[in-house]
Amino acid sequence: MHELISGRWSARGYDPTASISVDDVATIVDAGRWAPTWGRMQPVRFVVGRRDDPTFAALTGILTRGNAGWAPRSAALILVCTTEDPDDAKADTYAAVDCGLAVGQMILQAQALGFNAHPMAGFDAEAARDAFGIPAGQRPLVLLGIGALAEPSSLPDDIRARDEKPRTRLPLDEVAFAGQWGTPAFPELPTT
């Protein structure tokens, strides 16, 4: 696996003094802009805050409790929005897929630039609509924190403890099938 993918993880222990340049944030957003898009619809929009600017301050204000403790340590916060259309389930579904693809590319671009990126659903979407004048037909779907990892010894205990938790995934033979659903695609490989 490419090291950008194997080395990716959702950290919380960011250095609250580390900054990120405008160029780097723009590159990360651009990586999202160039994600695949269903029917070339390009439904995804971004609200971008760098620490100490007013947009960043407003984005920290919409964090829900679980994220309010660590996410303000990010060097940048990017709210990723996509279209919603209650009358068109297909467009609605693939707008969300476009959003996920954009976020995935942004995470890897952040990683390539030496940062960690952590996606969040834990924010108040209605507060975001109010704060940024997000129009009807757009929905705020993911808030992406981008930060530089701090020295673990400098972190508050709760943040360090969460970052030290082991990361796990379902084994490959439980998620990848061939022939019939449930039949492992790679029976010859170890199951971990």
φ/ψ bin of 112: left (φ > 0), alpha (ψ from -120 to 50), beta (otherwise) = alpha
Q: How far is the CB of 172 from ligand FMN (least distance, A)?
A: 16
Q: Which is nearer to ligand FMN, 170 or 179 (CB)?
A: 170
Residue with tokens 């403890």: 161
Q: Which is nearer to ligand FMN, 41 or 121 (CB)?
A: 121
Stated as kind and residue range, the H or E segment containing 30 is helix 22-33
Q: Which is nearer to ligand FMN, 104 or 184 (CB)?
A: 104
Within 10 angstroms of residue 44's Cβ, the number of other Cβ atoms is 24
Q: Does 40 bind ligand FMN (CB under 6 A)?
A: no
Q: How far is the CB of 10 from ligand FMN (least distance, A)?
A: 3
Q: How far is the CB of 63 from ligand FMN (least distance, A)?
A: 9
Residue sitting closest to ligand FMN (CB): 122
**In the numeric block, which tokens belong to residue 165?**
């938790």
For the window 167-186, what string marks contact with ligand FMN as x by the rule CB under 6 A?
A: x-------------------
Q: Does 107 bind ligand FMN (CB under 6 A)?
A: no
Q: How far is the CB of 162 from ligand FMN (least distance, A)?
A: 8
Q: How far is the CB of 66 from ligand FMN (least distance, A)?
A: 6
In angstroms, the CA 130 to CA 132 distance is 6
Interaction residues for ligand FMN, span 127-166 (CB under 6 A): 142
Sequence-ordered list of residues with C-beta below 8 angstroms from that of 89, at least 6 positions apart, any chain: none
User: Residue 37 to residues 34, 92, 152, 174: CA-CA distances in angstroms?
Assistant: 8, 13, 38, 29
Q: How far is the CB of 176 from ligand FMN (least distance, A)?
A: 18
One of 4, 22, 112, 121 touching ligand FMN (CB under 6 A): 121
Stated as kind and residue range, the H or E segment containing 96 is helix 89-112
Residue with tokens 């942004």: 106
**In the numeric block, which tokens belong to residue 169?**
């995934």
Would you tell me which residues interact with ligand FMN (CB under 6 A)? 9-10, 66-67, 119-122, 142, 167
